[in-house]
Homo-oligomer: A and B are copies of this chain.
């Protein structure tokens, strides 16, 4: 069946800098029949600016938030300026028209079997995990007993997207590289210190962050039986599985981050 609306126009409602180089963009997507109805945490969109020739390719951004609004949807994206593309996007003003393709990819596998959910976010990796949290709030029925969030950033003033976490989670543990708030060190170390206190059978970990962090986490969990799903990043061209550009090495060869992921079992990926 044909979803003409999988490639949609969105209008920028707001696009604010909420911390140094970190922006929150709200987009209004007008059609109610759009594919956004079924968006799930961990999924992403490909974003481009209408009528501009640069950036040429869309930029993948995780869905940070989504809710119905006046016969359409508001999609929120939380992003960090790291290069030219995100810089151009950060300069856009309200009312600018965007192309937004999505939701794309396989999001987090949310099983109701785990009573304890552990979220581990590195930097801007908070975006999809915050949406996951929101998801738990909405379907109150299936809400796990305990949700613990670990969030690591370089400096305390780069902590973004924690509001919802703080409302929803049983605990939010912070780490900073420079010690300016919370644990002084890597978020993976902070988590590692607590690891033994979690029941491996009842717990599930969802993580997103720089690949060095995820690799570190894979090391920590190597001989552990706890489930862990990670959202990984790779450069993308198509976002739909057609170009094979976003390859990630898994035990069986390569998989496509955009289509087979971006969420994978941490033990499936070959971290090199």
Interface residues of A, Cβ cutoff 8 Å to B = 51-54, 88, 91
Q: Which residues on the B side are within 8 Å of A54 (C-beta)?
A: 52-54
**Please, could you name 8 A-B residue pairs with CB atoms under 8 Å apart, sorted by A?**
A51-B88, A51-B91, A52-B52, A52-B53, A52-B54, A53-B53, A53-B54, A54-B54
Oligomer copy total: 2
Shortest CB distance A15–B (Å): 16
Q: Which residues on the B side are within 8 Å of A51 (C-beta)?
A: 88, 91
Shortest CB distance A18–B (Å): 23
Q: Which residues on the B side are within 8 Å of A88 (C-beta)?
A: 51
Closest to A95 in B: B93
Task: State the CA gap A54–B55 with chains docked (Å).
Answer: 11
Q: Which residues on the B side are within 8 Å of A91 (C-beta)?
A: 51
Shortest CB distance A52–B (Å): 7
Task: State the CA gap A52–B56 with chains docked (Å).
Answer: 12
Shortest CB distance A228–B (Å): 41
